[in-house]
């Protein structure tokens, strides 16, 4: 065991942990004043329930044993038998260090989904949805991509350095499906929904950016050259995407916006996630510059055309950003950067071996997330309404669902 690597990984785990409260501020600032507490709570409560689930069954089903490359076993139920020694996934750190690091991914991923259904989902239904979504979608995907003998990673050879498939595509697609099933917010086509607290959005984006260094650099699983490489590609893609969104704002609105800059930075972080430890630094500039116009088009044009209400654009940012990131990994990967890759990307090899694996993994992730979300939501709806009542929605979910108000002295319209 290497104490330096272990210390580095524990710090990275703490960095990833702060991303979920950061997401709460990011989403909370984007939502309406009367729903800010509910929106933030939808991210915050996940830290409780998903931490407990991870210790009891989540880690074991994701990283212990194998069933046909689809799911793990219960050999490490309640982390049984994991004291001492080193992790099977990183020979220089203790098992619990790897458990802690991966647990933070299992927290933020389902929290990302909540942005799509902000302002109208019944909190009780969301609670049960997150529980079953983690069991039936996240843990299998984590095993298929990162687990020993996993179908997508070990068998097909797809690459996902820190969660393009497992985290972003899965949550973005699930959010889209769930938002369509629940339906649009009241007055969606007639009312203008204003961002209620832009400083919250900026704070949330800053915390996400800060935590993302642990998210991506920590996925190297040691404090070495690969971690430093992932750190630089992560920051470069975020900066490039932010600059690209600001340019779009200047072209469309004649001025850069704080919300746009914050959104662009997060988009760059999403897009570089699958390839951070596989692609050269110069390509992270391209990855960041391309993702912002892609997402901008999805959010402003495609969403409007189809009329779905992805309230805080979880799919437009995380789904689209994750898909582009997975494709970009297929384009720009170099084995000389990370020998874990079986093939060089299309740009360097001229063949489609890696790109084919990437597209298969992206497609399977979309199918698993979409079908799984539909089934889970349908079953839950038989017992608990997915959506709050009309009067509750008009009143605001802070008071209706939690009996609290973020701004008790405010008496104006919202």
pLDDT digits (tens, 9 = 90+) for 145-184: 999 999 999 999 999 999 999 999 999 999 999 999 999 9
CA-to-CA separations, 49 to 46, 101, 110, 254, 270, in angstroms, rounded:
5, 17, 11, 45, 24
Write b or e for each residue in 251-285: b if 16 or more Cβ atoms lie within 10 A of its Cβ, otherwise e.
Answer: eeeeebbebbbbbbbbbbbbbbbbbbbbbbeebbb
pLDDT bucket at 409, cuts 50 / 70 / 90: confident
Report field, pTM of the whole predicted structure over 0.75: yes
The conformation of residue 195, written as its DSSP 8-state character, comes to: -
Does residue 376 sit within a domain?
A: yes
Enumerate the H helices of 183-224 as residue ranges.
198-217
The percentage of the chain sitting over the pLDDT mark of 70, rounded to a whole number, equals: 99
Domain ranges, residue 7: 3-402
Q: Report the pLDDT averaged over residues 354-367.
A: 98
Instruction: Inform me whether the pLDDT recorded for 126 exceeds 70.
Output: yes
Does residue 340 sit within a domain?
A: yes
Does residue 384 sit within a domain?
A: yes
**SS3 label, residue 396:** coil
Residue for token digits 């038989």?
A: 382
pLDDT in tens, 368-393: 999 999 999 999 999 999 999 999 99
- Which CATH number belongs to the domain containing residue 191 in this structure? 1.10.3430.10
Residue 85's CB is within 10 A of a number of other CB atoms, namely 11
Residue 26's CB is within 10 A of a number of other CB atoms, namely 27
Residue-level pLDDT at 413: 58
Quote the tokens at residue 261: 């800059």
Residue-level pLDDT at 166: 98
pLDDT in tens, 298-317: 999 999 999 999 999 999 99
Classify burial at 189, counting beta carbons within 10 Å of its beta carbon; exposed 0-12, middle 13-18, buried 19 or more.
exposed
Write b or e for each residue in 365-401: b if 16 or more Cβ atoms lie within 10 A of its Cβ, otherwise e.
Answer: bbebbbebbeebbeebbeeeebbbeeeebeebbbebb
Angle formed by the axes of helices 3-30 and 36-44, nearest 10°: 160
CA-to-CA separations, 212 to 106, 207, 312, 396, in angstroms, rounded:
15, 8, 20, 32
Residue-level pLDDT at 86: 94
Quote the tokens at residue 285: 């500039």
Does residue 407 sit within a domain?
A: no
Rounded to whole angstroms, how far apart are CA atoms 134 and 61? 11
pLDDT in tens, 205-261: 999 999 999 999 999 999 999 999 999 999 999 999 999 999 999 999 999 999 999
Contacts of 285 (CB under 8 A, 6+ apart): 236, 237, 240
CA-to-CA separations, 45 to 41, 42, 113, in angstroms, rounded:
6, 6, 13
Contact 288, 325 (CB under 8 A): no
Residue-level pLDDT at 377: 98
What's the maximum distance between 2 C-alpha atoms anywhere in the chain? 63
Classify burial at 218, counting beta carbons within 10 Å of its beta carbon; exposed 0-12, middle 13-18, buried 19 or more.
buried
Does residue 217 sit within a domain?
A: yes
Residue-level pLDDT at 120: 96
Does residue 244 sit within a domain?
A: yes
The domain tally of the chain equals 1
pLDDT bucket at 57, cuts 50 / 70 / 90: very high
Does residue 200 sit within a domain?
A: yes
Q: Report the pLDDT averaged over residues 192-200.
A: 88
Contact 251, 267 (CB under 8 A): no
pLDDT bucket at 414, cuts 50 / 70 / 90: low
Residue-level pLDDT at 84: 86
More confident residue, 412 or 35: 35
pLDDT in tens, 70-85: 999 999 999 999 988 9
Contact 40, 24 (CB under 8 A): yes
Residue-level pLDDT at 187: 83
22 bridge partner residues: none
pLDDT bucket at 412, cuts 50 / 70 / 90: low
Rounded to whole angstroms, how far apart are CA atoms 61 and 355? 28
Q: DSSP string covering 78-128, please?
A: GGTT-SSS-BTTBTTS-HHHHHHHHHHHHHHHHHHHGGGGTTTB-HHHHHH
Q: What is the mean pLDDT of the chain?
A: 96
Does residue 96 sit within a domain?
A: yes
Instruction: Inform me whether the pLDDT recorded for 191 exceeds 80.
Output: no
Residue for token digits 């949805």?
A: 129
């Amino acid at each position: 065991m290497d104490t330096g690597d272990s210390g580095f990984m524990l710090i990275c785990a703490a960095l990833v942990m702060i991303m979920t409260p950061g997401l709460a501020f990011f989403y909370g600032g984007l939502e309406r004043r009367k729903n800010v507490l509910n929106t933030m709570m939808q991210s915050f409560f996940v830290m409780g329930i998903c931490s407990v689930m991870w210790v009891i069954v989540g880690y074991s089903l994701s990283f212990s044993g194998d069933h046909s490359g689809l799911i793990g076993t219960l050999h490490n139920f309640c982390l049984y038998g994991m004291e001492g020694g080193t992790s099977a996934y990183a020979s220089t750190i203790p098992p619990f260090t790897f458990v802690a690091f991966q647990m933070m991914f299992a927290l933020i991923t389902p929290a990302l989904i909540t942005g799509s259904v902000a302002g109208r989902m019944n909190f009780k239904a969301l609670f049960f949805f997150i529980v079953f979504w983690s069991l039936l979608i996240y843990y299998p995907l984590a095993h298929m991509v990162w687990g020993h003998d996993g179908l997508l990673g070990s068998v097909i050879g797809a690459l996902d350095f820190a969660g393009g498939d497992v985290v972003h595509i899965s949550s973005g697609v699930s959010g889209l499906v769930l938002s369509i099933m629940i339906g649009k917010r009241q007055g969606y086509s007639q009312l203008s929904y204003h961002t209620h607290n832009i400083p919250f959005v900026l704070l949330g984006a800053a915390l996400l950016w800060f935590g993302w260094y642990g998210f991506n650099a920590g996925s190297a699983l040691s404090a070495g050259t690969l971690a430093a490489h992932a750190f630089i590609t992560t920051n470069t893609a975020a900066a490039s995407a932010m600059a690209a969104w600001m340019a779009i704002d200047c072209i469309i609105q004649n001025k850069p916006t704080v919300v746009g800059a914050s959104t662009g930075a997060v988009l760059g972080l999403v897009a570089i996630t699958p390839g951070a430890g596989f692609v050269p630094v110069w390509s992270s500039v391209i990855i960041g510059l391309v993702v912002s116009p892609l997402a901008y088009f999805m959010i402003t044009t495609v969403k409007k055309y189809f009329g779905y209400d992805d309230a805080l654009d979880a799919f437009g940012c995380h789904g689209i950003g994750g898909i582009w990131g997975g494709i970009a990994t297929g384009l720009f990967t170099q084995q000389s950067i990370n020998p874990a890759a079986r093939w060089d990307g299309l740009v360097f090899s001229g063949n489609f071996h890696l790109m084919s694996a990437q597209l298969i993994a992206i497609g399977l992730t979309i199918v698993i997330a979409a079908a799984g979300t539909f089934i889970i939501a349908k079953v839950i709806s038989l017992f608990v309404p997915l959506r709050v009542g009309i009067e509750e929605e008009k009143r605001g979910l802070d008071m209706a669902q939690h009996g609290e108000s973020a701004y008790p002295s405010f008496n104006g319209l919202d």
